[in-house]
């Protein structure tokens, strides 16, 4: 449970839990009233006995209240349950005669108590959407970090491979230079050494330029993470 969700979950959870515990003590007459009211709006409950309906509703409210109060239950799950419960109560408000004014939305004096249940829908949707968006943001950040680390590894690998290749080129040029120097006669040895020394220095300079260019490329890639 996120700390910012605690006040909303505690307030709604305690209210719903208390309501469910109270229904377990409902008498026969009260159970008949609740069943008749609910079945008039939701015909699916008509075939249930009044006592069974009241107990089922009580256990549902107790379960929902406990889910809201337990910090181990994700806010997305608890919020979705609260929103669904609120929608059911809002349906009773909107479809029960005498609860709304002529526009079918604003409550009459008798309907004010039920109209307040719409707050449960808003509270549930707030918990669910905030939890979902927070999880999505965390997942996106993890993916971005993974991509950035992969780019850094690739850049480092490219730099290392290019440096090794440049070293190989310089080494090969040096080896060729030594071989040619040995093959040149004594008379032309000084001139050949000078020429080959220039070739070796040019290869070394090219290697340094290549290494610096690749290092700049790696820095640029890492800087865009």
Query: 100 phi and psi, to 5 degrees?
Result: -120, 160
**Tens of pLDDT along 166-209?**
565 555 555 545 554 554 544 454 555 555 566 566 666 666 76
Q: Which residue, chain included where needed, has tokens 């004010």?
A: 112
20 in helix, strand or coil?
A: helix
What pTM, to 2 d.p., does this model score? 0.58
- Of 223, 181, 182, 174, nearest to 199 by C-alpha is 174
Give the model confidence (pLDDT) of 46-103 as tens digits.
999 999 999 999 999 999 999 999 999 999 999 999 999 999 999 999 998 889 998 8
Residue with tokens 């349950």: 81
Spatial distance between the Cα atoms of 129 and 84, rounded to a whole number of angstroms: 14
Instruction: Tell me how many degrees the CA angle 23-49-57 measures, rounded to the nearest 5.
Output: 30
Give the whole-angstrom CA distance, residue 191 versus residue 149. 52
């Amino acid at each position: 449970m996120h700390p910012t969700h605690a006040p909303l979950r505690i307030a709604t959870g305690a209210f719903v839990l208390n309501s469910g515990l109270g229904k377990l003590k409902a008498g026969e007459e009260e159970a008949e009233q609740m069943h008749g009211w609910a079945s008039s709006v939701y015909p699916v409950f008509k075939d249930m006995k009044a006592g069974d309906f009241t107990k089922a509703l009580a256990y549902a409210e107790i379960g929902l209240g406990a889910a809201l109060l337990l910090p181990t239950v994700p806010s997305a799950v608890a919020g979705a349950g609260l929103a669904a419960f609120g929608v059911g109560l809002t349906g009773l408000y909107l479809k029960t005669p005498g609860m709304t004014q002529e526009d079918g939305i604003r409550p009459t004096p008798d309907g004010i108590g039920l109209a307040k249940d719409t707050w449960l829908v808003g509270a549930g949707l707030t918990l669910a959407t905030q939890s979902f968006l927070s999880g999505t943001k965390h997942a996106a950040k993890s993916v971005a970090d993974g991509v950035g680390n992969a780019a850094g590894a690739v850049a480092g690998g490219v730099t290392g491979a290019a440096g090794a290749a440049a070293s190989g080129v310089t080494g090969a040029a040096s080896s060729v230079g030594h071989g040619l120097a040995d093959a040149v006669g004594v008379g032309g040895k000084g001139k050949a050494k000078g020429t080959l020394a220039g070739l070796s220095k040019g290869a070394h300079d090219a290697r340094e330029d290549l290494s610096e260019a690749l290092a700049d490329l790696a820095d640029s890639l890492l800087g865009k993470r």
